[in-house]
Chains A and B, each alone.
Chain A
Amino acid sequence: MVICKFFMQGNCRYGNSCKFEHPSADNTGYAYSAQRQLFGNSGNRYKWSSNDYQKQQGPKQGQGQVSSADVVNVIINEMTEWEKNKMWPFSCMAFEKEAPCIPDFVDTSPEELRLAAYEALKDNNIQPYIQQVQSLSEEYSKKRQMIRQANLTLRQKLIALIDEYRLKKSRSSQPSGLFSAGSSTNNPFGNQLSFMSSTFGNAPTQPSQGLFGKDNPSTASAFPSGSSGFGTSAFGATPSVGIGSSPAPGAYPSSNSSSQGIFGGNQAAGSFGAQAQPFGSSPTPSAFGATSSAFGATPSQGLFSAGASQSPFGSGASASPSPFGSGANSTSSVGFSKPNTSGTGAFRQSNASGASGQPSESDVTSTVYTPIDKLTPKELAEFKAPHFTLGNLPTKPPPKELCF
């Protein structure tokens, strides 16, 4: 059956009664599998690798990756099925594999609940346990329902979060190949390593509470002050600092003292708040404006403070793939524009240091921007207009041409 292209874009108005197929998470498993069906593949259903998708599916938006809007659709589907498929209800859930968890879905294991039940029984008062389970149950149903019936704001927010970590990942993963060569010998556990006694016990206390704090630590330490240069300026807080401390491309001094100060949670959050102002005129709340969102847990704070301190280039460009990217892009161009200035665009600069392991320009551009000819006239009109119209927010990143 033909898969509905509007569904894949996330806005089929026929819903369940659509005559085209809306692939569900159930028979497909993960996000990628929706496409896999299309290409009728794999006699062996236990055989699955993430690269199947890339082999079979032509590049979409310039990358072999499901679009963020599609990921949101798959999530919505999975949330729907979760209510019915008898799966353990109190689980976190990732956007997709190897991705962060969706905020606000916290793990509770069967054993933890069981112990609560046993302790309640021991106290001869099972009531608190029953109530705990009930409220947990309601809470999770409610959260799932919110996702299932995601309004535009929530959808945008999810898409923004997905774009966020994807960009971060594409930036952090590529350099690691070059710089962590030392640790990628064939047998990681055969190396004789010597440790300072002081590191024993305190080394792994990584601040991974934030959504995006899961980067390879070796990557983070390889570029600590590179991150300060690019990261700060991207948020427009103090561009002069960003430029001043920005190292020459390819040189990555290892002192990370300054990055800590610059990316202290408050400041990052504060400057990000300011950065969101350009979108104030937008009729819908900003995707990053956490307060008005359905998930009021202000994930952006932990998200951006952690992200900035860990990923060198992630935060700089992270804002740009958002639907409201135009404002952020102009800001980041200030930060990046060291020698070759703003005219040619923010990412020329990062391409200059691409020799030291960064993603190539085409990669960056294709993820960050939508080619102008890939936009529908409606979307293009939205991007060109001074304000977005409610209900017509484009879910694709803006075209490069309109960003500068």
Chain B
Amino acid sequence: MSIFGSANTSFGPSTNYSAMKDIEVQSPPDDSVSCLKFSPGTNMPSTFLIAGSWDNNVRCWEVQQSGQTVPKAQQTHTGPVLDVDWSDDGTKVFTASCDKTAKVWDLNSNQAIQIAQHDAPVKTIHWIKAPNYSCVMTGSWDKTLKFWDTRTPNPIATIQLPERCYCADVKYPMAVVGTAGRELIVYQLENQPQEFSKIESPLKFQHRCVSIFMDKKSNAPTGFAIGSIEGRVAIHYVNPTNPKDNFTFKCHRSNGTTNGMQDIYAVNGISFHPVHGTLATVGSDCRFSFWDKDARTKLKTSEQFDQPLTACDFNAQGNAFAYATSYDWSKGHEGFDPNKKPHIFLRSCFDELKPSMKKT
């Protein structure tokens, strides 16, 4: 691949394993996978997958049509990597780390340069491409949202958050940030990032992941899905035509052993299908599920894996679903078994995510 100056092939082979018969990504990270991101669809001859890990590394694979993966390169932070994002042209990757910095990784030159600095670990990173500006947005546990032009050491803007940033998503011109203490803030990004509204969280417990969805007709961002530790996801339209459009649903729960009580697991990740507008959730219950938010039905639930699912993403065409099985610290250090290795799987998913026929 020409766009990668130095293809790193030092990863060793590993055995394929999946409860769902999906294809395993070669040479997965050594520690839990915190985030997965496919390359954008624009002008890219092939598809790439990036994974950030608690082993401080960011890895890049080329994903072939067959679903086979070829390890390409990796970069290292001095702390666990919590989030990654792609530039819109697919030439750069942005990485956010517990080492309180964010970096830009130029895949052509395989150089990584620090572009951001926070006072606490950086939890989220997103590339913003607006007609009149472009920048990187970082959200941190230091209770700030910062915007960086990637060339200067100081942020071009800083927005105070009410609490530590726990999750964020950007689909221009909308950004949404979920924080500790159930704060939920929507920003509009036109001209300049600007708070649009604060939302009373429809969830009762700790925010964990958020994903913006598009209006099917206009293809503009119109709302978001936010997941919490309470096995629940809220579908929230920023300006619902009908208040009833907003709802929450239970997920990632299982019937426990004690008197029929449900065990409740965290929702670790949400991703929307780029073509169908349906969504996938992954959870601490070691399963993924596919949902149709418009028909308000579940499309599929996976088998149970041997470890929690920590991250997921769809590729730009919507025919591949990547998910990672690795420990998510949901049971603290006692639940950590270093003998269980992280895995990343690719699933052919286009048909499974077709919207439900029975519309309401």
Identify the A interface with B (CB < 8 A): 26-27, 29-30, 44-51, 81, 84-88, 90-94, 96-99, 101, 106-115, 117-118, 129-130, 133, 183-195, 199-201, 203-206, 208-209, 213-218
Interface status of B85 (Cβ within 8 A of chain A)? no
Question: A130 to B193, alpha carbons, bound, how many Å?
Answer: 41
Task: Evaluate contact between A191 and B247: CB separation under 8 angstroms.
Answer: no
Task: Evaluate contact between B220 and A189: CB separation under 8 angstroms.
Answer: yes
Smallest CB separation, B173 vs chain A (Å): 4
B interface SS class: loop
Task: Evaluate contact between A85 and B192: CB separation under 8 angstroms.
Answer: no
Smallest CB separation, B22 vs chain A (Å): 25
Smallest CB separation, B13 vs chain A (Å): 28
Of the stretches B68-76, B111-119, B262-270, the one at the interface is B262-270
Max chain B C-beta neighbours (<10 A), residue from A113, A114, A184: A114
Task: Evaluate contact between B196 and A205: CB separation under 8 angstroms.
Answer: no
Max chain A C-beta neighbours (<10 A), residue from B163, B193, B204: B204
Identify the B interface with A (CB < 8 A): 34, 54, 79-80, 82, 98, 121, 123, 141, 157-160, 162-164, 166, 173-174, 180-183, 185, 187-198, 200-206, 208, 215, 218, 220-222, 228-232, 238-239, 241, 243-244, 246-250, 256, 258, 260-266, 291, 296-298, 328-333, 360
Question: A112 to B187, alpha carbons, bound, how many Å?
Answer: 25
Question: A48 to B261, alpha carbons, bound, how many Å?
Answer: 20
12 more contacts with CB within 8 A, not counting A98-B201, A201-B157, are A29-B232, A44-B297, A87-B205, A87-B229, A88-B266, A97-B204, A107-B182, A109-B164, A113-B329, A117-B333, A188-B238, A193-B191
Contacts of B360 in A (CB 8 A): 47
Task: Evaluate contact between A118 and B203: CB separation under 8 angstroms.
Answer: no
Task: Evaluate contact between B263 and A216: CB separation under 8 angstroms.
Answer: no
Question: A265 to B194, alpha carbons, bound, how many Å?
Answer: 27
User: Given known contacts A48-B249, A193-B188, A193-B191, is B264 in contact with A107 (CB within 8 Å)?
Assistant: no
Task: Evaluate contact between A48 and B202: CB separation under 8 angstroms.
Answer: no
Smallest CB separation, B74 vs chain A (Å): 19
Question: A48 to B329, alpha carbons, bound, how many Å?
Answer: 30
- The 8 Å CB contact of B208, one of A45, A109, A186, A189, is A109
A interface SS class: loop
Smallest CB separation, B133 vs chain A (Å): 11
Question: A47 to B190, alpha carbons, bound, how many Å?
Answer: 35
Task: Evaluate contact between B218 and A51: CB separation under 8 angstroms.
Answer: no
User: Given known contacts A49-B246, A91-B229, A190-B220, is B198 in contact with A217 (CB within 8 Å)?
Assistant: yes
User: Given known contacts A106-B181, A189-B220, is B265 in contact with A86 (CB within 8 Å)?
Assistant: yes
Task: Evaluate contact between A26 and B262: CB separation under 8 angstroms.
Answer: yes
Across the interface, name the chain B residue whose C-beta is closest to A205. B160
Task: Evaluate contact between B54 and A118: CB separation under 8 angstroms.
Answer: yes
Task: Evaluate contact between B198 and A30: CB separation under 8 angstroms.
Answer: no
Across the interface, name the chain B residue whose C-beta is closest to A102. B204
Task: Evaluate contact between A195 and B218: CB separation under 8 angstroms.
Answer: no
- The 8 Å CB contact of A29, one of B220, B250, B260, is B250
Task: Evaluate contact between B266 and A110: CB separation under 8 angstroms.
Answer: yes
- The 8 Å CB contact of A92, one of B79, B159, B205, B215, is B205
- What would 18 A/B residue contacts be, using CB atoms closer than 8 Å? A27-B260, A45-B250, A46-B297, A85-B261, A91-B228, A93-B205, A97-B204, A98-B202, A99-B200, A108-B180, A110-B266, A110-B328, A185-B239, A187-B215, A189-B189, A194-B191, A200-B193, A204-B187
Task: Evaluate contact between B192 and A195: CB separation under 8 angstroms.
Answer: yes
Question: A175 to B203, alpha carbons, bound, how many Å?
Answer: 24
Across the interface, name the chain B residue whose C-beta is closest to A31. B204
Question: A337 to B325, alpha carbons, bound, how many Å?
Answer: 64
Task: Evaluate contact between B160 and A48: CB separation under 8 angstroms.
Answer: no
Task: Evaluate contact between A93 and B204: CB separation under 8 angstroms.
Answer: yes
Contacts of A26 in B (CB 8 A): 261-262
Question: A133 to B332, alpha carbons, bound, how many Å?
Answer: 8
Task: Evaluate contact between A106 and B263: CB separation under 8 angstroms.
Answer: no
Question: A193 to B221, alpha carbons, bound, how many Å?
Answer: 17
User: Given known contacts A46-B250, A205-B160, A206-B198, is B190 in contact with A191 (CB within 8 Å)?
Assistant: yes
Smallest CB separation, A200 vs chain B (Å): 5
Contacts of B243 in A (CB 8 A): 50-51
Contacts of B191 in A (CB 8 A): 192-195
Task: Evaluate contact between B180 and A107: CB separation under 8 angstroms.
Answer: yes
- The 8 Å CB contact of A195, one of B80, B194, B228, is B194
Task: Evaluate contact between B239 and A184: CB separation under 8 angstroms.
Answer: yes
Across the interface, name the chain B residue whose C-beta is closest to A197. B192
Across the interface, name the chain B residue whose C-beta is closest to A199. B194
Task: Evaluate contact between B249 and A46: CB separation under 8 angstroms.
Answer: yes
Question: A213 to B54, alpha carbons, bound, how many Å?
Answer: 35
Question: A321 to B242, alpha carbons, bound, how many Å?
Answer: 30
User: Given known contacts A49-B244, A98-B202, is B190 in contact with A189 (CB within 8 Å)?
Assistant: yes
Task: Evaluate contact between B160 and A88: CB separation under 8 angstroms.
Answer: no
Contacts of B193 in A (CB 8 A): 200
- The 8 Å CB contact of A189, one of B221, B232, B266, B291, is B221
Contacts of B256 in A (CB 8 A): 84-86
Max chain A C-beta neighbours (<10 A), residue from B200, B221, B258: B200
Smallest CB separation, A338 vs chain B (Å): 32
Contacts of A186 in B (CB 8 A): 239, 241
Smallest CB separation, A77 vs chain B (Å): 11
Contacts of A213 in B (CB 8 A): 162
Task: Evaluate contact between A203 and B200: CB separation under 8 angstroms.
Answer: no
Smallest CB separation, A107 vs chain B (Å): 4
User: Given known contacts A97-B203, A118-B54, is B159 in contact with A50 (CB within 8 Å)?
Assistant: no
Smallest CB separation, B228 vs chain A (Å): 8
Task: Evaluate contact between B195 and A203: CB separation under 8 angstroms.
Answer: yes
Max chain B C-beta neighbours (<10 A), residue from A91, A93, A99: A91
- The 8 Å CB contact of B248, one of A51, A97, A133, A183, is A97
Contacts of B174 in A (CB 8 A): 188-189
Question: A231 to B160, alpha carbons, bound, how many Å?
Answer: 28
Smallest CB separation, B250 vs chain A (Å): 6
User: Given known contacts A115-B121, A204-B160, is B248 in contact with A48 (CB within 8 Å)?
Assistant: yes
Task: Evaluate contact between A84 and B333: CB separation under 8 angstroms.
Answer: no
